Amino acid sequence: MEKIHSLTGMMDLVGKKADKSEVSNRIFFTEKVIKNIFQSYCLSEIRTPALEDENLFKRSVGDTSDIVNKELYSFLDKNDKRIVLRPEGTAGVIRSIIEKKIDGDAHRLWYLGPMWRYERPQKGRFRQFYQAGIEILGHEEGLAELEMISLICSINTQLEIKNPVIKINHLGNKECKKLFCKELVSYLKPFSSKLDKKDLERLDGNPLRILDSKNSETQNILKEAPKISDYLPKESLDLLNLIRDTFSNDCNIEIDHTLVRGLDYYTGFVFEAISPELGAQDAYLGGGRYDQLCSQLGGKDLPAIGMAIGIERLASIANTSEINKTLVSFIILSNKIEQKAYKIAHDLRSVNKKLNLDIQLSDGSLKSKLRRANKDNASYALIVGEEELKSNTVIVKSLLDENSEQSNMNINELHDFIKSIV
């Protein structure tokens, strides 16, 4: 029978021992660390549906963005309504708080879930990928920006990201953005014949996006172009300097006036975190302020700032060595004593909650169970047979050193030993 394969650019994540490449385990660990950070920043969780009305993204992320223009997974449902698999989380969050009529209040939210973009798959770029997002709503420019960068610093520190750079920029207010775009277009128009198709489209639809063109000829032309920094009000430049100075001891922040981001809803401060370890797709998170999105979608005027982390990218550069903490394998020698022996193991789990205790559930000889414990990289095997149960003891065998002697411990000794394992 012909085999059925997963779709292009979509990954199965299978846990622990089944995953030889360790990708899933790195991802699960990274998600756990991030969720703890969200909790420590007093954020609340929000879950919105994976499917949304296509118009939501046309009116938020924008018609001219690649995400909406080329990459939407869109379908007609059975009622001939055009729906999409969400390409990002921000628009759904704002739709949800408008619908719940809580768009007049302040909120600090986080979410984690799959997103879909019909992109050409390559290293670090998938058609289904996971994002963890944060949206801080109801706060004007200022402290919320600091909170966002502080959170990124915590992620970098706790996951020990190597050589991270946080790039920051400001797109100015409405007037300055309009004026700058006008000047940029009049400078670029005479070079139209030298621009590629993508940049030409941007020139008409969203000229700011030309600034992060990947085309080297465009980048050459841009060298003499008007600079956004010359159009930014003093408050915006001051904010960038303040953010850089506040965190100068904790993380590497660069002001980069070419950073514009690929979604239309941004209105002021924008940022991205990159790491050279990632190769071509080097951004592992990005975000910015989007003060007009809520009113654009029919809600109140709600200042907002947010970001999303690409989980696969972050997990691939995170230090996940803690996954491999000490594993203890619990071996029961006879099925006649299974229940009583199981209770010993159950109690051990509450003696040391951090312990990874693998109670071997399948039948087999001691030899095969020890072989399995070794294969799983267990540090110790705890062995219980009928004799041990009678004398209220457990055999403790170190698997770290082939030549070490095994010892019999009574339950109290065993509890002390288990407590001492980190």
Task: Enumerate binding residues for ligand HAM (CB under 6 A).
Answer: 88-90, 117, 119, 125-126, 129, 131, 133, 135, 262-263, 283-288, 290, 306-308, 310, 312-313
Min CB(370)–ligand HAM separation in Å? 41
Q: How far is C-alpha 255 from the geometric centre of its chain's CA atoms?
A: 23
How many other CB atoms sit within 10 Å of the CB of residue 126? 22
Min CB(103)–ligand HAM separation in Å? 16
Min CB(283)–ligand HAM separation in Å? 4
CB 219 within 8 A of CB 213: yes
Q: Which residue is nearest to ligand HAM (CB)?
A: 310
CB nearer ligand HAM, residue 95 or residue 369: 95
Min CB(230)–ligand HAM separation in Å? 26
Min CB(126)–ligand HAM separation in Å? 4
User: What distances in angstroms separate CA 179 from CA 171, 186, 225, one per listed residue?
Assistant: 11, 11, 14
What burial class does residue 394 get, using C-beta atoms within 10 Å of its C-beta: 0-12 exposed, 13-18 middle, 19+ buried?
Answer: buried
Reading across the β-sheet that carries 356-359, which strands appear in turn? Answer: 356-359, 327-332, 380-384, 393-398, 407-410
CB nearer ligand HAM, residue 8 or residue 404: 8
Spatial CA neighbour of 394 closest among 411, 378, 406, 380? 411
Min CB(212)–ligand HAM separation in Å? 11
CB nearer ligand HAM, residue 148 or residue 396: 148
CB nearer ligand HAM, residue 88 or residue 264: 88
CB nearer ligand HAM, residue 311 or residue 345: 311
Q: How far is C-alpha 17 from the geometric centre of its chain's CA atoms?
A: 23
Min CB(233)–ligand HAM separation in Å? 22
CB 38 within 8 A of CB 155: no
CB nearer ligand HAM, residue 111 or residue 417: 111
CB nearer ligand HAM, residue 264 or residue 312: 312
CB nearer ligand HAM, residue 135 or residue 388: 135
Min CB(52)–ligand HAM separation in Å? 13
205 CB contacts (<8 Å, ≥6 apart)?
63, 64
Min CB(79)–ligand HAM separation in Å? 28
CB nearer ligand HAM, residue 146 or residue 225: 146
Tell me the C-alpha distance between 47 and 49, whole Å.
7
Tell me the C-alpha distance between 6 and 128, whole Å.
11
